[in-house]
Amino acid sequence: MVERIIYALIYICGIALAYYLIIWVLGAIGLALPHMVMVILGVVLVLVAILVLWRLFAGSGVRLWPEPCTKSGSSASSSA
């Protein structure tokens, strides 16, 4: 499980580096992006990061949220 967390951190750092590298290269060649385009690009990269994390932790046994409490497993259903 530790290696999955390390992979997740590496992927997220890579995605963040790609975002800033894209912005920097486009600014260096003289193509200034409007603020809304940068926001949309950031949202797309965040969605890609969420997808990568989902694929990385799917089926690994890591509980992403707690299970709901149900009373179907209680001893009230036993017959006397």
The residue ranges of every structural domain in the chain are 2-57
Report yes or no: 9 and 56 within 8 Å, Cβ to Cβ: no
Structure tokens at 6: 């390390």
Q: Which helix (H) or strand (E) holds 43?
A: helix 35-57
pLDDT for residue 6: 85
pTM, 2 dp: 0.58
Taking 80 as the threshold, does the pLDDT of residue 59 lie above it?
no
CA-based nearest residue to 51, from 18, 15, 22: 15
Phi, psi for residue 9 in degrees, rounded to 5: -65, -40
pLDDT for residue 53: 80
Helix (H, G, I), strand (E, B) or coil at 78: coil
pLDDT digits (tens, 9 = 90+) for 17-58: 988 998 889 889 988 888 998 899 889 988 988 888 888 777
Alpha-carbon distance of 77 to 5, in angstroms, equals 41
Report yes or no: 56 and 7 within 8 Å, Cβ to Cβ: yes
